[in-house]
Amino acid sequence: MAVKIAFDLVSPERLLLSTEADMVTVPGTEGYMGVMAGHAPLVSTLRAGMIDVQTDGKDDRYFIRGGFAEISPAKITVLAEEAVPMTELDLEVLDQRILHAQDDEIAAKTDKDRQAAGQMVDDLKLVRAAF
């Protein structure tokens, strides 16, 4: 039997998920990373994207809008700015978020703000493409 890793997904409103997973994939700021039992300790900021939780051949996916991941060999905890199960995500709301992010990119006054808004647009479009 494969060793599992404990996983907690926490949003400001509530604990969304607490489970034992085979692997958890999170959207790190440098790209997506897969986390399994025995992973090296790490703290990472997260960007908007999807978390994929693989448990016994089943995948559960959650949209997050950024946050932090704390990883140890036995556990991963994600503190998300916002987290919504993909099954509950409204496509119209997601499309509105993409439009707002595009507006933010156009209205950005600095290169740093423009880059951050552009990254948000790209991340939201990736989530949209996953539907």
Looking at the fold, whether 102 and 64 belong to one and the same domain comes out as no
Count of structural domains within the chain: 2
Looking at the fold, whether 82 and 97 belong to one and the same domain comes out as no
Question: Tell me, what's the pLDDT at 62?
Answer: 94
Question: Tell me, what's the pLDDT at 1?
Answer: 54
Q: Residue 77: which domain range?
A: 5-86
Looking at the fold, whether 71 and 18 belong to one and the same domain comes out as yes
Predicted TM-score of the model (pTM) = 0.82
79-84 long-range contacts (CB < 8 A, ≥24 apart) are: 79/10, 80/9, 80/10, 80/11, 80/46, 81/11, 81/12, 82/11, 82/12, 83/9, 83/10, 83/11, 83/16, 83/51
Looking at the fold, whether 101 and 75 belong to one and the same domain comes out as no
Q: Tell me the pLDDT of the chain (131 aa) as tens digits.
A: 579 999 999 999 999 999 999 999 999 988 999 999 999 999 999 998 999 999 998 999 999 989 999 999 999 999 999 898 988 888 898 899 899 999 999 999 999 999 989 988 988 888 888 77
Q: What is the CATH number of the domain that holds 34?
A: 2.60.15.10
Looking at the fold, whether 11 and 74 belong to one and the same domain comes out as yes
